[in-house]
Structure 1
Amino acid sequence: MNLDTQSLQPIINFIWTVADDVLINKYLENQYQDVILPMTVLRRLDLALEPSKDQVLLTHNEFKSKIDNLSGLLTSKDHGSGLAFYNTSPYTMKRLLADPKNIDANLLDYLNGFSENVQDIISKFKFRNQLETFENTGITFSLIEKFCNPKVELGPDKISPMAMGYMFEDLIRRFNEKTNAAAGRHFTPREIIELMTHLVYLPVKDKIQQGTYLVYDPCAGSGAMLTQSKRFATDPDGKVKSQATFHLYGQENTGEMYAVCKSDMLLKNEDPDKIKFGSTLSEYGFEPDLKFNFMLTNPPYGTSWKEDIGKLNVGTEKKISIVDRRFNLPIKNFKGELEETCLTSRSNDGQLMFILHMLSKMKDSKDGGSRIASVQNGSALFTGDAGSGESGIRQYILENDLLECIIQLPNDIFYNTGIATFIWIISNVKEEQRKGKVQLINASSDSFFKRMRRSLGDKKVELLDSHIQDIQNLYFNFEENENSKIFDNEDFGFYQIPVFQPQRDEDGNIIRDKKGNSKSDASLKDTENVPMKEDIQTYFDKEVTPYLPAAWYETKGAKVGYEIPFTKFFYQHTSIRDLSEIENDILQLEKETEGLLNEIID
């Protein structure tokens, strides 16, 4: 089921008003989220711990002088919180309000009482940095009072992690819009996550009924992809109904989103240590040999990864050389020989680097293999000429037969961008009919979405359950029609060959060397992209020679290129209107305009 995002708006709106009611004139607008986001998380954790508060205090007071490490007891169901975290302070947020005079000192005591895993969350939010401002401006009581208002139903029994992830993303979107900040990342609408999980799990649902599976998101954000993924696979009333064990792994390099993700993992009784902080590309947080069965992600695109290059780079920015097995892979040269190549995208867009990273984390096919779903923008399909890092990454994916399907989503479906976006489905355990093939699905037309009554930022359309089902059907039917095209992997490859033209003297004669060969004119040197399935000489004779009879090509310096010109395959020609039809329309407009003018004059 799709998340009813509209039902969350009253809560989001209430939290939003806290900034205007309490923080105004105390904080700059671009600092509001430094208070609102951690307070929302802390209140959510506070409500989760409230029922077991007295039991935790009783256990803590009884055993604190007898046992050094009380974590086991304080998280147990019988003696503690029954959750993966706890708080040994005598205060809850509501109890803090009972002593207004000492509320600032008591708030610090309350924060210090949280278990170590929550301390990490507080630290990543840098929340303690705010306490001095709270005290100096006298807003501590009113701030806590707002968050204890019954209108803010933030408890995990009221709002799921999926809904909470949406709330945080919407709040962050609003903060960014208010301060004209570029978000740099595109939070994933719930219905797209739903589509991604369906396409990752349903093809192998019969094979994952038992056992243990590892799910990974290298750009975890709020963790929604991870939690919704597990929920879909294990829902006893769902389409998969797996009884297997799923472990969730993720990494996030934005402190506030890492804190949000880790807090919801705690509330879901997931292992919070499986969520790591730092940049996946240069500070990967897990063992290098750890592999995953399923990977889902929406990496930042159109954003710089220069900082990562600086940490990985042993060359120069113009000629990057990275000593990292994830990014050094064998691809074929023009002669068909495998060459170990450093594959890197341009420094201002690292989205394809996350694809490479995930490829390195795929389980071997003999161990069941892996399935990946990743959101990419259009540039990942074609950016980079033959021989470039981007082209090389596409080449590696296609020549190793890893790409199953690419789905174009409707425009205006994300909260902070209206650009074209695509879901890539990657697998090293393809079904027989898909081997050597790539399916392209165009789900961007209005038959695949519904316009929203009210837009949310840039998000103006949404996928209904019926739309998700329609897209699934196109994928599973694996047939060609107006919205589905099937290609051989080689259809996307080409050879880029250098083309030369001869020098001519003042009389128009071709200048030749001592051997009688034409001397080339450097200013006229060009290249020609020859489809991989075509013979180069035959192509040259047909496409070049009729127009440049004296031109020739050389295979020395020829390069291999790969691109996926998605829109070309689904382009529909619109006939130009007949001139007489246009003339009649203009005459009709003139008549109407003339009549209107007469009415005004009269």
Structure 2
Amino acid sequence: MSSLNHSQFIWNVADVLRGTYKQHQYGQIILPFTVLFRLDATLAPTKEAVVKAAEGYQLDDVPLAMLASQAEHHYSFYNLSRHNLKTITNDPDTLAINLRDYINRFSANVRDIFEKYKFEDTVAELESHDLLFQVMQHFARVDLHPDRVSNEQMGNIFEELIRKFAEASNETAGEHFTPREVIELMVTLLLADDEDLRTDYIVREVYDPTAGTGGMLSVAEEKIKAINPNADVILLGQELNPESYAICKADMVVKGQEVDSIVLGNTLTAPAFEGRTFHFGLSNPPFGVDWKTAKAFVEDEHKSMGFHGRFGAGLPRVSDGSLLFLQHLIAKLREPGWGSDGVPQVGGRAAIVLNGSPLFTGGAGSGESNIRKWVLDHDYLEAIIGLPTDMFYNTGISTYIWVLNKQKKAERKGKIQLIDATDMFEKMRKSVGSKRKRLSAEHIAEITRLFAAFDAADDKRSKVFDREEFMYRTITVERPLRLNWGFTAERVERLLASKEFGKLKLAEGEDAAVRVSLASLVESTAGAVGGDMAGVKAELLQVFADAGALVKPAALAKLVDELAERDETAEVVMKAKKPVADTALRDTENVPWGEDIHEYLEREVKPFVPDAWIDESKTKEGAEIPFTRHFYEYVPPRSLEEIDRDLNEALGRIKKRLEEVQA
């Protein structure tokens, strides 16, 4: 039976639940029962020997070393119940009691899985509706033994069930897993340059901070083992969603991974595996999801730990936490050098899936730009692969794989490779959520070839850049403030209506006297402008003095400003012998990293505005990766003659059909 057929048969238990449970509740029952029957089938061959070997020991005190059969299969869990699910199902009268006992006789690491599912509550509710026996009977007809259903197939079954659950619940299935072929591409790219992978008895640790149901970890193990069956592959991950965590952990313990290899929790606020770094990292963090709930913790780590923590490079806007996961993943990769045991240590590599936003969102000096520049400065970014749209189950947006490396090969140092695979896909016969396209094995092979070829690749699909080409400086271009002053009716009216004049709180007589004097000035000057600021200021001061009103210098200066207007022909306003900048004319320019900012000003700006200068105190460094721009190909518009011809043909067809209708 195929993975799809297995998952469909399992999901058909919904026929038993229908009427009693709502559709969105099916998954909360189906998923834990699937995990339970998988574990039971996995333990079946060793069950008798384990129970016998554990006699005399308390449940959680059994040394795994005593369980030879478990050690042989590399299982780090066991069940000491004398029952199995088949014998339990054969006795309907004591079914619920025996099932609870069976669950509670698992080792602690597996009991944790069912606690996260609140499985005892599920059993009690099914029993109260007289459905428990029917559900158990249904699952008993599925053989999930690893000899019949491989770990890869089981992963596919879980993913298909979660997708169905998500659709029934109107949730986003893509938050829980990544399309299998995307994972295969990511892992293939990671392993492409690991020349030591074929070494006998080599150890490789693979880490996923957003593990979901464990698909990335499983594929990584499969591919590493395919290259080197003797490799010791250690899989570790963290997952926020309790149900995905439970499935992932169940899958890992069946694979023989350590009890604590999968951790439940928020990677941003409660990171697991403190102090550890890994050979490989894989991640598909949620796209465009805010990090408000983690804001206080993340900001505190950023401020208090700086580059000794994970987020020293900067913080993105709170509406999208993708670049936080990127920094976290980089922090968990091994540094090249020498290990504590004196053995040379190769730098870690990672692949992470992100949407387009982290490539360019945020200008120079923003959190996003600072993070990108930090990544480029440290030469961590090896390549970015643009994927087709409609590749993921819960979104049709463009996505990109970032390949990170802490120890690039000599020819790749200081270089970034961009690979455009946006048109590499085959259409699916049937859409799955938003997923309408998939990568074939041939597409994965071609992308890997382009990646390996590096600068010898097809430049229509693959381009190599110096990292500095994605860096720039944003300069602030200032122009001088040129003003004229005068007592015109409009300016005086503006002065009298200003907040600053209102703050003076003049007495009734003072206010009237000021207004009369200002009206006289308007009349006597006939609205003339062009006077200097000092003269106008002196006259205004005299107006207030004649009215008996006291005005502080700061307030007077603001009132004088109301009597000024910009004038390109006027003299430049000076302060401390320096021209005052006109904020209304202020502009910014992005200067390529390798270019002198003053030379740029002379060439690109001053021919058009000769009086411009750079305020160097405002210069900011930035970085962005305009992926699409580098692969854009101009397509000239059709000629007017061609458009006219098509319109005439269309009008002719319409006219002919109208005539046929009228006839």
**TM-score (norm. length: structure 2):** 0.81
Separation of aligned partners in 2, 1:81 and 1:433: 43
Among residues 34, 39, 47, which one is paired with 1:40 in the alignment? 34
Q: Is residue 70 of structure 1 aligned with residue 62 of structure 2?
A: yes
Are the structure 2 counterparts of residues 105 and 570 from structure 1 closer, same or farther at C-alpha, using a change threshold of 3 Å?
same
| 1:535-574 matched pairs, under 5 angstroms | 535-574=596-635
Q: Is residue 302 of structure 1 aligned with residue 288 of structure 2?
A: yes
Q: Which residue of 1 aligns with 2:532?
A: none
Q: Which residue of 1 aligns with 2:397?
A: 419
Among residues 233, 255, 259, which one is paired with 2:224 in the alignment? 233
Are the structure 2 counterparts of residues 25 and 274 from structure 1 closer, same or farther at C-alpha, using a change threshold of 3 Å?
same
Separation of aligned partners in 1, 2:232 and 2:72: 25
Instruction: Tell me the SS of whatever aligns to 2:401.
Output: strand
Give a deviation string over 1:553-597, Cα, whole Å, max 9, x none: 211021110000000000111111111110111111111111122
Q: Which amino acid aligns with 2:35?
A: V
Are the structure 2 counterparts of residues 213 and 9 from structure 1 closer, same or farther at C-alpha, using a change threshold of 3 Å?
closer
Are the structure 2 counterparts of residues 513 and 79 from structure 1 closer, same or farther at C-alpha, using a change threshold of 3 Å?
closer
Q: Is residue 362 of structure 1 aligned with residue 333 of structure 2?
A: yes
| 1:128-207 matched pairs, under 5 angstroms | 128-149=120-141, 152-183=142-173, 185=175, 187-206=177-196
Instruction: Tell me the SS of whatever aligns to 1:272.
Output: coil
Q: Which amino acid aligns with 2:21?
A: Y
Q: Which residue of 2 aligns with 1:333?
A: none
Separation of aligned partners in 2, 1:46 and 1:408: 42
Among residues 379, 403, 409, which one is paired with 2:387 in the alignment? 409
Separation of aligned partners in 2, 1:303 and 1:280: 14
Q: Which residue of 2 aligns with 1:336?
A: none
Instruction: Tell me the SS of whatever aligns to 2:382.
Output: strand
CA apart distance, 1:272: 2.8
CA apart distance, 1:510: 4.2
Give the number of the structure whose residues are more often helix, by fraction: 2
Separation of aligned partners in 1, 2:102 and 2:237: 29
Among residues 117, 123, 148, which one is paired with 2:115 in the alignment? 123
Give a deviation string over 1:472-526, Cα, whole Å, max 9, x none: 1111111351001111010001111112233232453143214553322223323
Q: Which residue of 2 aligns with 1:16?
A: 11
Among residues 205, 208, 219, which one is paired with 1:214 in the alignment? 205
Instruction: Tell me the SS of whatever aligns to 2:157.
Output: helix
Separation of aligned partners in 1, 2:171 and 2:451: 38
Q: Which amino acid aligns with 2:574?
A: D
Separation of aligned partners in 1, 2:93 and 2:270: 45
Question: Contact between 1:251 and 1:277, CA under 8 Å: does it hold in 2?
Answer: yes
Are the structure 2 counterparts of residues 574 and 327 from structure 1 closer, same or farther at C-alpha, using a change threshold of 3 Å?
farther
Separation of aligned partners in 1, 2:425 and 2:313: 40
Question: Contact between 1:266 and 1:272, CA under 8 Å: does it hold in 2?
Answer: yes
Q: Which amino acid aligns with 2:305?
A: V
Question: Contact between 1:408 and 1:420, CA under 8 Å: does it hold in 2?
Answer: yes
Q: Which residue of 2 aligns with 1:84?
A: 76
Separation of aligned partners in 2, 1:69 and 1:326: 39
Among residues 488, 498, 502, which one is paired with 2:466 in the alignment? 488
Separation of aligned partners in 2, 1:475 and 1:405: 8
Separation of aligned partners in 1, 2:314 and 2:367: 5
Q: How many pairs does the alignment contain?
A: 570
Are the structure 2 counterparts of residues 63 and 206 from structure 1 closer, same or farther at C-alpha, using a change threshold of 3 Å?
same
CA apart distance, 1:434: 0.8
Question: Contact between 1:327 and 1:356, CA under 8 Å: does it hold in 2?
Answer: no
Separation of aligned partners in 1, 2:85 and 2:39: 10
Q: Which amino acid aligns with 1:491?
A: E
**TM-score (norm. length: structure 1):** 0.89
Among residues 452, 458, 469, which one is paired with 1:476 in the alignment? 452
Question: Contact between 1:184 and 1:303, CA under 8 Å: does it hold in 2?
Answer: no
Separation of aligned partners in 2, 1:113 and 1:206: 43
Q: Which residue of 2 aligns with 1:345?
A: 316
Separation of aligned partners in 1, 2:46 and 2:577: 94
Q: Is residue 458 of structure 1 aligned with residue 434 of structure 2?
A: yes
Q: Is residue 377 of structure 1 aligned with residue 377 of structure 2?
A: no
Q: Is residue 389 of structure 1 aligned with residue 382 of structure 2?
A: no
Instruction: Tell me the SS of whatever aligns to 2:616.
Output: coil
Q: Which amino acid aligns with 2:347?
A: G
CA apart distance, 1:368: 1.3
Separation of aligned partners in 2, 1:78 and 1:308: 40
Instruction: Tell me the SS of whatever aligns to 2:618.
Output: coil
Task: Name stretches of at least 5 consecutive residues in structure 2 with no aligned partner.
Answer: 338-344, 485-566
Q: Which residue of 2 aligns with 1:598?
A: 659
Q: Which residue of 2 aligns with 1:443?
A: 421
Instruction: Tell me the SS of whatever aligns to 2:205.
Output: strand
Are the structure 2 counterparts of residues 328 and 171 from structure 1 closer, same or farther at C-alpha, using a change threshold of 3 Å?
closer
- Over the aligned positions, Cα root-mean-square deviation in angstroms equals 2.4
Q: Which moved more, 1:200-209 or 1:567-576?
A: 200-209
Q: Which moved more, 1:198-207 or 1:461-470?
A: 198-207
Tell me the percent identity. Answer: 40
Q: Which moved more, 1:589-598 or 1:85-94?
A: 85-94
Among residues 273, 280, 287, which one is paired with 2:260 in the alignment? 273
Q: Which residue of 2 aligns with 1:245?
A: 232
Q: Which residue of 2 aligns with 1:579?
A: 640
Are the structure 2 counterparts of residues 325 and 132 from structure 1 closer, same or farther at C-alpha, using a change threshold of 3 Å?
farther
Separation of aligned partners in 1, 2:371 and 2:103: 47
CA apart distance, 1:137: 1.4
Question: Contact between 1:75 and 1:85, CA under 8 Å: does it hold in 2?
Answer: no
Q: Which residue of 2 aligns with 1:530?
A: 591
Q: Is residue 519 of structure 1 aligned with residue 505 of structure 2?
A: no
CA apart distance, 1:538: 2.2
Are the structure 2 counterparts of residues 328 and 264 from structure 1 closer, same or farther at C-alpha, using a change threshold of 3 Å?
closer
Q: Which amino acid aligns with 1:558?
A: T
Task: Name stretches of at least 5 consecutive residues in structure 1 with no aligned partner.
Answer: 1-5, 330-340
Separation of aligned partners in 2, 1:158 and 1:74: 28
Separation of aligned partners in 1, 2:427 and 2:420: 18
CA apart distance, 1:326: 5.4
Give a deviation string over 1:204-244, Cα, whole Å, max 9, x none: 23455233222211111122212221221221xxxx33633
Give a deviation string over 1:50-98, Cα, whole Å, max 9, x none: 23333334444x4348x98334267421899873222222322222222
Are the structure 2 counterparts of residues 200 and 600 from structure 1 closer, same or farther at C-alpha, using a change threshold of 3 Å?
same
| 1:52-71 matched pairs, under 5 angstroms | 52-60=46-54, 62-64=55-57, 69-71=61-63
Q: Which residue of 1 aligns with 2:305?
A: 323
Question: Contact between 2:198 and 2:228, CA under 8 Å: does it hold in 1?
Answer: no
Separation of aligned partners in 2, 1:324 and 1:111: 46
